[in-house]
A and B are shown apart, each in its own frame.
Chain A
Amino acid sequence: MENPRQPEAVSPERAAYLKRIRWERIQVKGLQGSLLIALFLLWELAARQRWIDPFIMSSPLRIAATISRMFRTGNLLYHIGITCMETVAGFLLGTVIGTAVAVLLWWSPRTSRVLEPYLVVLNSLPKIALGPIFIVWIGPGVGSIITMGLAISLIVTILEVHHGLSLTDADKIKLVETFGATRAQVLQKVVLPANLPTIVNALKVNVGLSWVGVIVGEYLVSKAGLGYLTVYGGQVFQMDLVMASVMILGFLAAAMYLGVVWLERRLVPPTQQPF
């Protein structure tokens, strides 16, 4: 029997099609880049021509100057480092603890039924309201900020992952039970692998949520980090500093999201990927 995975010869129609979509992709990328450059140019021009007040609206060159000055005096990397560390910690804790709790709830349906109303209430509670409690209990430091990042992502993760686990195809479970599988084996051989996409999806949502939690935490505690810089810049009316911090934040958040997308490609086999 011939090898089913041999690449087929490319027909001229296919080659033309591939060329067309490649060209389309290049054009879209080009337009995306041009749009960004155009916006920055317009902003800079508006500031120079005094259509807007650069003291309040800042401008791309002023932001660049601020970033390079902070970079030279050395404390920019420190602030970036602190915020990234807090976010990654909150994100990992939220995902790991959330998934673990979801597995426990799957393991014991009765526990899940008992806890359901509590989870629903905790989920609808605006977690930011808990900030002052964390600060009093844990102290105004990195601990409180990470806890804030964790609090925001934890409950959603538990609910999402548990929902996925409990929807696992009952017949797939029955299949491994025909081989005498224990509950641990059902979890290991069916429920977890079948839900890998759900879990990785929870990761994607959590990245965004952890940033929100950490920045809010830094607003409240205000010692170091990009959130702190934003608040501080606002208080001393240095809009260049505020804008620079927000720019860097946007860049970091996007980078981290891409990291998770990359992880998804590595972890989830192509047959289970949604696209």
Chain B
Amino acid sequence: MHQQKVVEMQQIAMKYQSESGEIEAVREVSFSVYEGEFVSIVGPSGCGKSTLLSIIAGLTKPSSGQVTLLGEPVVRGARSVGYMLQKDHLFEWRTIEQNTLLGLEVRRDLTPETRAYAQELLKTYDLWAFKDSYPRELSGGMRQRAALIRTLATRPSILLLDEAFSALDYQTRLSVTEDIHDIIKQVGATAILVTHDISESIALSDRVLVLSARPAELRAVHHIDMAGLSSRQRRDHPEFRSYFNLVRKELGLNGKS
């Protein structure tokens, strides 16, 4: 099953420079993600998770180390990558439909076919009735789905999700994560999810990477052996708690997640 390496990170380190000083965000991180895999990255707040995604997307150049995407050195804005940032960043001057077409426009890929695909996604995710509304008329969950459609419309083969669901309340979050998990499995995309919700990472992914506090280093890797189960079934699985406790201990947390 795990044939092709989609992402390969080799000894990535990142130090941010500014006039006021230097911040070492990532010390040394190496890992690979294989085709069709769903990998979560968990780590304490501010440890460098967003930085890692930014490096994979080619938006931030690491201070040292190599990033390879589908066997090639990464380039800025690579077509294979769909990156969902930590906030939805829908443009308030565009309608929901125009927002979902943004990626296609920028990639100069807006054809009747791609537009029809984006519209189909709007229908699938119950936003069709709101296609002519402006973002501020939508709830947080709807905005989040619109942002996901904007990303999926360009048909990326690697999805980078940065705390994509953190703006949602718990109930919406459960159903949205489930939806997104299904969509990603359905289109066969490879996904890397950054989260600090341990149960979310276990419910969704094939592998969980645990990072240390800043500067980030890889502390542990867990293969979650519950393939084929939906995220809701996973949450009810007897193994779930033991994975949860393991990861929580590694993160140095006690008490609530």
Tell me the A residues contacting B by CB distance below 8 Å.
Answer: 1-5, 169, 171-172, 174-181, 185, 189-190, 193-194, 196, 269, 271-272
Contact = CB atoms under 8 A, between A and B. Distances in A.
A5 B137 CA distance: 10
A177 to B, nearest CB: 6
B93 A196 contact: yes
Nearest to A172: B89
B149 to A, nearest CB: 14
Interface stretch (B38-46, B101-109, B200-208): B101-109
A246 to B, nearest CB: 41
Contacts of B128: 1
Given A171-B87, A189-B102, A196-B93, 15 more contacts: A1-B128, A2-B129, A4-B130, A171-B85, A175-B89, A177-B59, A177-B76, A179-B103, A181-B77, A185-B106, A189-B105, A193-B91, A194-B93, A269-B93, A272-B92
Interface string B126-151: 10111011111100000000000000
A193 B93 contact: yes
Interface string B110-126: 00000000000000001
B57 A178 contact: yes
B79 interface: yes
Given A171-B89, A193-B91, A194-B93, A4 B106 contact: no
Contacts of A169: 89
Given A185-B106, A189-B105, A179 B77 contact: yes
B133 A189 contact: no
Contacts, number: 67
Secondary structure type dominating chain B contacts: loop
B190 to A, nearest CB: 16
Contacts of A2: 129
A174 B85 contact: yes
Q: Which of A175, A185, A194 has the most CB of B within 10 A?
A: A175
Nearest to A2: B129
Contacts of B103: 179
A4 B133 CA distance: 8
A5 B129 CA distance: 9
B165 interface: no
A175 B93 contact: no
A271 B93 contact: yes
8 contacts: A2-B129, A169-B89, A175-B89, A177-B76, A178-B77, A180-B76, A180-B106, A194-B93
Nearest to A178: B83
Contact of A180 (B78, B129, B132, B136): B78
B154 interface: yes
Contacts of B79: 180
Given A177-B76, A178-B59, A179-B107, A172 B133 contact: no
Given A176-B106, A180-B77, A180-B79, A272 B93 contact: yes
A129 B240 CA distance: 78
A182 to B, nearest CB: 9
Contacts of A175: 85, 89, 102
Best-buried of B89, B92, B128, B137 by chain A (most CB within 10 Å): B89
B81 interface: yes
B249 to A, nearest CB: 34
Contacts of A271: 92-93, 134-136
Interface centre among B76, B92, B93 (most CB of A within 10 A): B93
B208 to A, nearest CB: 24
Contacts of A269: 93, 134
Given A3-B129, A4-B129, A179 B91 contact: no
A189 B93 CA distance: 11
Contacts of A174: 59, 85
Contacts of B57: 178
B240 to A, nearest CB: 33
Interface string B49-79: 0000000010100000000000000001111
Interface centre among B87, B91, B134 (most CB of A within 10 A): B91
Instruction: Enumerate the 8 nearest inter-chain pairs by beta-carbon distance, A residue then B residue, closest first.
Output: A180-B77, A178-B83, A179-B106, A1-B129, A179-B103, A271-B134, A175-B89, A181-B106
B77 A177 contact: yes
